[in-house]
Each structure stands twice: as structure tokens, then as C-alpha cells.
Structure 1
Amino acid sequence: MDCGLCAEPGSFVLQSRPLPEVAPEGWVLVDIAAIGICGTDYHIFEGKHPFLAYPRVIGHELSGHIAEGPDAGRLAVINPYLSCGKCRACRRGKPNCCAAIEVLGVHRDGGMCRRIAVPRDNLYFADGLEPRQAAMVEFLAIGAHAVARSETGKGDVVLVTGAGPIGIGTALFARLAGAKVHLLDRSRTRLDLVRDRFGFSDVHLVGDGEILTGAAAEGFDVVFDATGNAKAIEAGFPLVAHGGTTVLVSVVKDDIRFTDSEFHKREMQIVGSRNALKADFEAVMAAIRAGDIPTDAIASETVALADLPLRFPQLVEDREAVVKVLVTP
């Protein structure tokens, strides 16, 4: 079978590998149906991912049909976070932040291929969804998890900084929670996209006028950062209202600085949000089934795996104008 891998920064190629025929005990073979391309995959291609060794088969936003056993043929979403089940976080029901976590497509080879073996417990049945919709569940679950962590509710005024796929997913679930959602980005293209496709009217271009006006004059009840930029995270602290929360959805390697007196004066909360739990995956699938998530607006393009070596470098350059590109093997 052909697998899509980054051989080294700037090089995406197809490599032939044997088709897996036997899964380890407790694991299941899955025939991949669709793969979402994530910002992580772009960073791997660009050589910017801090936790990756090349070469690596990418792909962690995955849907597929179970290849064996009584559930053969059934569509499932693959949870790509492989947890140890033994550490303190796992024992406390938080496998999303397992101390020894391995992510498919990052720490070990992913699902940009025809078939993959995954732990049985990492499969969530996606009855009622189409394969392309099921491949969107993982990245949307990250936003759903962040909103759940924030305890955002009806009447809250929130700001999502960073209007990429993760920011869009976060904004969609904050809106479903009843919040009034604003988005902030440095790209007019991205802001026009989220306004036109998803109906977010309160969009703000970085540096283009005052953002703390109207219902947000006293600050935002919750600020979600989905930029992956330390300066943007720091710039978000003064936008949090007294008694408010900032949620760090994105990850940076840098140190983050804030003014302690302002932090205490506002009794702010800083919440980290990592990956997602099974409950978040299930919540996303329920929202898609209910028609609350516009998956047609999210899916920007579908590419055959055979065409991806030529298309991938172009997608890296053009990613500002797309939401989610899906690959079929």
C-alpha cells in the first residue's frame, strides 16, 4: 500500500509498505476512508514541529471502516491519542494529557495510508456520518474540549484569537454553548471566510481599531487562544474581563509572561486545554448528526492520496484560504 510521509522537511512522498494483515492483541485493523490535513501536518512539512523524528507517515484526523470481526465494515472515528492507561492522568480519567502520550502521525506513524492498526478503545462508531464528516471529528473535538474546559455558557461574550481550523471549531462550539462569539485574526482573508461561511459577524483584524467595545467594553468572559503565537497569547491577557478566563488551546515552546497584579486584580483563570476526550468526540458527532455543524462549509477540498505529493506544497502555501482539506486513500 502507498503511505504518505514526510521524508524530511520540505519533502512529502509516497512510500510503498506491506498492507497490515494482523493486529496486535487488543488492537483492530481499520481501512482508512478519509484523512484530514491539519496545521500539525503543515508544520511537519515545514520542519517546525518540536516533537517529531523524520521520516514520518503523517495523518491523525482519521475515519475508516473496521476491517475485521463482528463490526467489519462499520464506520468509525479514530482517536489518535494513544495513552498508557497507567499514569496519574490516565488513572484520573484524563488520557488526553497522559504523561506518556503518543499521537498518531507525530510520535509514531499515522494514517495517511490504506490500512492502520489502532487500539480497540480508540475507535468510536460514527453511525449516521459520512466518511469525510467522520474525518473532521478529531479537530472539532479539540475545540469542543476547550469550550467544555472553559465552562462557557449562555450570555457569555467570548473572543477566539486565531481563525484557523482549531479556532473555527472552538468558535462553533462556543456559539452552540450560547455565547456571543468574536474572532480576532491578522488575516483579512481568514476573517472574511469565517464571516461568509459560518456567519460570525463580530470579526476583528489585528491592529484595526478598538476591540473592547459594545458588549465587550469591559472585556471578554473567555478568551480562547488558537494562534500558536506567544505574543498573541500575551496580548490576549488584557482583553479578559474581571472574573474571566483565558484558555490556551494552542501550544508554544516559548515562555509566556503576564502581569501578576492584573491577573490577581481580575481573579483570572488560565486554563490549558490539550487534545480531547471520548465525551468530546461523541459531542461532536452528535452535533454533526443534528445539523449544528456545517461540515460542507468546513470541507474546502478533497484530494486523492496519489495526487498529494504534487498538491501538498501548494496547500502549505495556500492554507490561509482553506479550512479543511481531506484526503482519500
Structure 2
Amino acid sequence: MRAIQISELKTLKQVDIAEPAAPAAGQVLVRTHRMGVCGTDISCYLGKFPFFDFPRIPGHELGVEVVSVGDGVAHVKAGDRCSIEPYMNCGECYACRRGAINCCQNLKVIGVMMDGGLCESFLVRADKLHPSAKLTYDQLALVETLAIGCHANDRGAPENGDHALIIGMGPIGLATLEFARLTDATISVMDMNPARLDFVRQNYGIENTVLFKADGSEIERMKEITGGDMYQVITDATGNKHSMSGALQYLAPTGRLVYVGITTDELSFKHPVMHRPEATILASRNALPPDFTRIIGLIEDGTINTDPWITHRTSFDGVMDEFESFTKPETGVIKAIIEVV
């Protein structure tokens, strides 16, 4: 069976792997139709992701078809289209016992810490499948990205009257925006790429955009937007140490800063920038099962339109030649989709 590995730094390799066995009790055999390429996949390819080891078959943003089910599986059947919740938690550790399965102490994310879906078929735990009779495989492959943003927005919890800032308009920042816009907060977005700010204005009608130039003009723009108050909720989706270290300066008094992007670098700031506003710093990791259910419903009823997201597309056979281009900002990629079968 065909699969593609990230075999070593900046290297993809097409490999033949064994056909999966028949599903055991509680398992499902699925066929991968679509894989979304996300920032995590790119960071793994570039050797920048902290939880990744070579070689690995990537693929955790997936739209799959159920091929067969094992004993005890009742909520999906052969032929169903599903999104996959890729976080394989143990169910027994302290975090799992508290319901924080996204923070499982033994967590294995498919495509990152264990082989993922960039192959023709594979086995997965049945409880990690979220079916939809209405969504396309493209849409199902975007559910996991949206779930990251959903959980990040819940962590910050913007409210009516708040000014909320999202830093970084890549897929995770956009996913956070999808849910921030469903609140009554006033939303601003910041990026250093003018094209991404244009994308947000055109597709989401967000006029409070801030172009980051690192010359102080961004702070003046923020003061203009907020009447000098700055931001009660900030979500940093960049994964960039400089952005993450500097984000505290944009907080309003008693504000909340959420880190959803990940970096392997150290963050640094002088303590008064945190102490003075009595800031709350939060992390947002992965997502929770209800996020997947909610998102599928929001796409089904048209509240979330995924059409603008997919800017690039390739076939399984085209991955070897085209993946490198997805790592380059100048190609304008928001979300690339791999058509696996």
C-alpha cells in the first residue's frame, strides 16, 4: 500500500507499507480521501515541531470514508464520511480523568507522534470518528483545523464589549477568527503579510486590520481602533517567539493572552509588562470532542463557509513535487488539500 513519509529533514519519501489488518473491537478501517496540510505538517517537515520524530507518515487533518468496523462500533458504518479527531488519549491519566483529554499525559497525535493519514487506508479508534452525511471530504478535512481555533477562542472567551485581537492570519488564526466573530466582541487581526489582511477583509468583512511593521505603527493603529484601551483578549497564532514575547504589550488591564501557536524557542519579556496589567496568560492545546460536533453542525447549516480556505490542491502523486512550495509564504497558501484517493 502506498504512503508518503517525512523521512528526514525537508525530505519526503514514497514508501510501500503493509495493508492494515481487519479492525479489532472498537476500531474502524478508513480510507483517506483528503488531507489538509497545516502549519504543524510544515513545521515537522522543517524540523521545527517539538513533538515530532523522523521518519513519520503525516496527516491529521483528514476527510475519510469508513471501509469496515470492528465489534462494538455502532455510531458509524461502512460508507460513512467522517472527520477524524486525531488526539489519541489514554483515558487513564490525571488529565483524562478530569476530562481534559486534549492534555493527556500520554497523548499521541496521529501524523505527529504516530503515523497518520497520508496513505490509502489505516486503522483508527472508533471514538475518534465524527460522521456527517452532508459534508464533503474537503470540508471534513478542515474540521480539525477549525477545532483548534474553536478551543483557542473558548480559552480566551471574548465577551460583549471586549476588544479582541488575533495575531497571525494563517489557518489557525483564521480558525480562531471563525469563532471570535460569533461572539459580541469587536475583532481586530494583525499580520505582517498585507495579502493575508486583504483576504480577511474580503472574506470576513473585518476592517480592524493591523499591519505589523515592528516600527511602533501597529500600536498606534491599535490605540486608534480601541480608543486607547487596547485588547482585553489576545490570541497569538503565529508560533513565532518574537511575536509571542511581544504580545503582552497589546493587552488592556486585566486582559487575557492565549498562546495557540507553538515554538521550540524560549519566550522572554520583562515581568512588569505582565504584572502591570495583572495579565492572565493561557495556553490552548488541541481541541475537545464537542468542538468537532459543533463545527460539523456549523458547516452543515452554513454558519461557517469553508470555500475561501482552500487555495491550493494537489494529488497524492503530486505531493513529492509540490509540498515544498506549500512551505513558502510567497506562494499565498492558506490551506492546501491533498487528494489522496
Normalising by the residue count of structure 2, what TM-score does the alignment of the two structures yield?
0.92
- TM-superposed CA distance for 1:262, in Å, is 4.2
- CA pair 319-148 structure 1, distance change in 2 beyond 3 A: farther
- Aligned match of 1:269: 280
**Amino acid in structure 2 at the alignment position of 1:85:** G
Give the Cα separation in 1 of the matches to 2:48 and 2:112: 12
Give the Cα separation in 2 of the matches to 1:108 and 1:200: 38
- Aligned match of 1:9: 9
Kindly indicate whether the alpha-carbon contact (under 8 Å) linking 1:198 and 1:297 is maintained by their aligned counterparts in 2: no
- Aligned match of 1:53: 53
Kindly indicate whether the alpha-carbon contact (under 8 Å) linking 2:156 and 2:234 is maintained by their aligned counterparts in 1: no
Superposition pairs for residues 116-265 of structure 1, below 5 Å? 116-207=122-213, 209=217, 210=220, 211-215=222-226, 217-265=228-276
Kindly indicate whether the alpha-carbon contact (under 8 Å) linking 2:147 and 2:295 is maintained by their aligned counterparts in 1: yes
**Amino acid in structure 2 at the alignment position of 1:214:** I
- TM-superposed CA distance for 1:54, in Å, is 1.3
Kindly indicate whether the alpha-carbon contact (under 8 Å) linking 2:36 and 2:62 is maintained by their aligned counterparts in 1: yes
- CA pair 319-56 structure 1, distance change in 2 beyond 3 A: farther
Kindly indicate whether the alpha-carbon contact (under 8 Å) linking 1:36 and 1:327 is maintained by their aligned counterparts in 2: yes
- CA pair 320-85 structure 1, distance change in 2 beyond 3 A: farther
Q: Specify which of 70, 83, 95 is matched with residue 89 of structure 2.
A: 83
- CA pair 48-263 structure 1, distance change in 2 beyond 3 A: closer
Kindly indicate whether the alpha-carbon contact (under 8 Å) linking 1:140 and 1:284 is maintained by their aligned counterparts in 2: yes
Give the Cα separation in 2 of the matches to 1:265 and 1:197: 37
Give the Cα separation in 2 of the matches to 1:159 and 1:59: 30
- TM-superposed CA distance for 1:300, in Å, is 1.2
Kindly indicate whether the alpha-carbon contact (under 8 Å) linking 2:63 and 2:137 is maintained by their aligned counterparts in 1: yes
Q: Specify which of 68, 90, 105 is matched with residue 111 of structure 2.
A: 105
Give the Cα separation in 2 of the matches to 1:150 and 1:178: 13
Kindly indicate whether the alpha-carbon contact (under 8 Å) linking 2:325 and 2:331 is maintained by their aligned counterparts in 1: no
Give the Cα separation in 2 of the matches to 1:152 and 1:116: 39
Give the Cα separation in 1 of the matches to 2:183 and 2:270: 30
RMSD: 1.7
- Aligned match of 1:38: 38
- TM-superposed CA distance for 1:322, in Å, is 1.7
- CA pair 254-11 structure 1, distance change in 2 beyond 3 A: closer
Normalising by the residue count of structure 1, what TM-score does the alignment of the two structures yield?
0.95
- After alignment, is 263-272 or 167-176 more displaced? 263-272
Residue correspondences, number: 329
Kindly indicate whether the alpha-carbon contact (under 8 Å) linking 2:96 and 2:104 is maintained by their aligned counterparts in 1: yes
Give 4+ residue runs of structure 1 displaced > 4 Å after superposition: none
- 1:36-59 deviation per Cα after TM superposition (whole angstroms, max 9, x unaligned): 001111112222223222111011
- 1:174-208 deviation per Cα after TM superposition (whole angstroms, max 9, x unaligned): 01122221111111222222222332221111126
Kindly indicate whether the alpha-carbon contact (under 8 Å) linking 1:212 and 1:239 is maintained by their aligned counterparts in 2: no
Give the Cα separation in 2 of the matches to 1:76 and 1:273: 24
5+ residue gaps, structure 1: none
Matched, 1:316 2:332: no
Give the Cα separation in 2 of the matches to 1:15 and 1:158: 46
3-state SS in 2 of match to 1:234: helix
Query: What percent identity do the matched residue pairs reach?
Result: 35
- 1:196-221 deviation per Cα after TM superposition (whole angstroms, max 9, x unaligned): 23322211111262222233521111
- After alignment, is 213-222 or 97-106 more displaced? 213-222
- TM-superposed CA distance for 1:243, in Å, is 1.8
- Aligned match of 2:18: 18
- After alignment, is 291-300 or 41-50 more displaced? 41-50
- CA pair 39-216 structure 1, distance change in 2 beyond 3 A: farther
- CA pair 214-312 structure 1, distance change in 2 beyond 3 A: closer
- TM-superposed CA distance for 1:297, in Å, is 0.4
Give the Cα separation in 2 of the matches to 1:307 and 1:261: 51
- 1:84-123 deviation per Cα after TM superposition (whole angstroms, max 9, x unaligned): 1111000000110101111111111110111111111111
5+ residue gaps, structure 2: none
Give the Cα separation in 2 of the matches to 1:317 and 1:115: 29
Kindly indicate whether the alpha-carbon contact (under 8 Å) linking 1:190 and 1:320 is maintained by their aligned counterparts in 2: no
Kindly indicate whether the alpha-carbon contact (under 8 Å) linking 1:141 and 1:276 is maintained by their aligned counterparts in 2: yes
- Aligned match of 2:121: 115
